[in-house]
Structures are given as structure tokens and as C-alpha cells.
Amino acid sequence: MSNSSDVAWSSLVSRSIAAWDDLISDEQPVPIDLHKNLLREYHSLDEFLVESPKLLTFWFFQRRSAFISQKRFKKWSREDLDDLVLIPASPGYVWRTDCFFVSHFWRSREHPDPDGTTLRLHQAELEPQTWSYIWVDWTCMPQHPRSPSEQKYFSRGLRTMSGIIRNTGFIYFYPPFKPRLWILYEIAEYHLTCVGGIQKTPDIEPFLQHINEMIEKGVLETLAKHHYDCYEDYDRQFLTSWLELLVLFRRLEINIDFIRKIMDHMTWFNVLGDQVYPGLKLNRYEGRLVYLGNELTFTPFPKWEDEPDSLDLMAQCREGMIVL
């Protein structure tokens, strides 16, 4: 690694750790020293991309100043680390008061917003508000063409993205309705795991109607009826499983705080076996949910190619990373 790359990585680590003190809440203590030490263990960007997570994933977020000043959504780049911070994928760091998630259509496969039209709408909406960091997939995850280390991080980023959606402010400007599966999922993830759901606007209303239809009639039937699609077959399998599980939780009228706890364990900490709670047991790879003695099924989650065969969830508990 070149000296300039060394400096850029070291600066990113220092800047990120300094930012955490402003993000964490006094009411929700987190093991910040442990998280600092975990990030400091990585001595280069490539080491971080390949080996993360060591018990914990870190998300790239774009800094406010970089987002507001750009003319187009910036593509993730090793040369632009100064625009970013790394935030632990752990309870207590990501808040709607400080962080936003941008849900957006891809207007082309080469660039999500080639002429900056969508970006300008977001900038006009967000500039008067007080916030610090923002997550845009194009900017915050390595894009094509990816090196092997970048691909590893990208895959992990996709499977933990729901944790970002649930815990940040959700902002969107959609063009006239098109049945995009990723958009439907992002809206459903926020709407069905947050108290009060999401504000209804004309551009989001068709998706909300289809979410209600999924709850009433089923996910697969609704997706087929409205011809929802996405570029990758694997994504379709993954998102279908997520949607079916979200719909099951809503049908069972499970408390939203309980849902969020379960989802956090699934996404932030990559639980691979049974998740066991009072009155509920879930195994996502078997597509099985037992609630108050009743067994329900959903489409099993596909496994990612780089996913380990097992994960010692209790090791994370012992380290103080999570509380079951």
C-alpha cells in the first residue's frame, strides 16, 4: 500500500472514532472502547474489506459536507475516503437525528442518477436540516468493477443494509411508479419496523398499497401480480424471504420493539442458527418461525457464498456486543 493510502486509511479510522462520541447516546451505553479497538486492528483498507467483520461490521457513511457539495452521486472510491466515515453496525450509533438512508431508483445500470436530478431534490430537502451522515448505496459500498476484497465487503454490506434502513431517517424521491423490488423492500423494511410507519406521498403510495396487499394475500402473489423485478436473481430470493418474514411479523401483531430486536440480531450480527426468545424461535435458513407454540413457514433465506457454516452468537454476548 502506498504512503498516501496509508495516510488516507489512518485518517479515516481517526475521523470515524472521533465521530462516534457525538453519535452515541448517554441513555444507551455501548462498548465504545471495544469498537474502537476492533477498528484499529485493521491496518489497511484491504485488510478491513477482507476481514471485516471481526465480531462487528462497520458501515461507510458519507459526510454531510461531501453530500451537499457534490454535483452527482459519487461512486465509492478508494481515492475519496476523506468523504466518508465508518460507523459500527451496532445499537447506539445510528440515529434518525444524525443519519439518513437514501432510497432511490437506478435510472441506468451505469449510474443511478446520471444528470444529478434526484441528487438535487435530496440536497434541497436535506440542506436546511441538521444531520451529520448519509448512506447511499452507490457512494457507500464498492461498485462494479470490484476487487475480490471489495466484493467481500459489498456482500456483507447488502446483508446488513436492513439495519441501516430501520435506524436512520428514510428519504426518497421516486419517479412515476415502476415495480422495482429493491424499492418495495426498502419501504417495507422501514414501514413495518418503525412506530408510525412512513409518511404517505403520491410517489410512495403504490408501494404502500402493495405492502398492504402482501399482508392480506401473500408476498409471492403480490410480486407476480404487479411484475416486480430486480437485476439479480439472487437478490430476488433474498428480498422475497425478507418480505415474507416482515409480513409474518405484521400478521402476528408482534410488538415492533420485539421485531426490531430480532431483526437486529439477524442483520447486524449475522445469526446463522436458531434465534430463541421468550415465546418465539426463528431459523431463517430453514424458513421456520415458531410463535407461542404455532409453527409458521416462509421462503428460506439463501446463504451468501462467503458466509461461514456457523457463528458463535454467544461469543458476541460474552464480548458485550449484544444482549439477547
Q: pLDDT per position in the chain (324 positions), as tens?
A: 567 888 999 999 999 999 999 998 766 667 899 999 999 999 999 999 998 777 788 999 999 999 999 999 999 999 999 999 999 988 889 999 899 999 999 999 899 999 999 999 999 999 999 999 999 999 999 999 999 999 999 988 888 899 999 999 999 999 999 999 999 999 999 999 998 889 899 999 999 999 999 999 999 999 999 999 998 888 999 999 999 999 999 999 999 999 999 998 888 766 778 999 999 999 999 999 999 999 999 999 998 765 554 444 434 444 444 444
What are the φ/ψ torsions at residue 240 (nearest 5 degrees)? -60, -45
pLDDT of residue 92: 86
| CA distances to 54, 83, 85, 118, 130 from 44, in Å | 15, 17, 15, 34, 32
pLDDT of residue 324: 40
Q: The whole model's pTM is what?
A: 0.92
pLDDT of residue 318: 40
* One-letter amino acid of 32: I
Exposure on the CB side of residue 218, measured as CA atoms within 13 A: 7
CA dihedral 312, 317, 322, 324 (to 10 degrees): 90
Nine cell digits for residue 182 = 429493491
Report yes or no: 287 and 220 within 8 Å, Cβ to Cβ.
no
What are the φ/ψ torsions at residue 133 (nearest 5 degrees)? -140, 155
DSSP letters for 193-253: HSTT-----TTTHHHHHHHHHHHHH-HHHHHHHTT-B-S-HHHHHHHHHHHHHHHHHHHTT
Question: Which residues, at least 6 apart from 28, have a Cβ–Cβ distance to it below 8 Å?
Answer: 91, 92
Q: Which of 153, 59, 72 is nearest to 100 (CA)?
A: 59
What are the φ/ψ torsions at residue 72 (nearest 5 degrees)? -135, 160
Residue 125: Cβ within 10 Å count: 13
Pairing of strands 294-297, 133-135: unpaired
pLDDT of residue 55: 75
CA dihedral 16, 30, 134, 82 (to 10 degrees): 0
The domain limits of the chain are 1-109+116-173
pLDDT of residue 60: 98
pLDDT of residue 307: 55
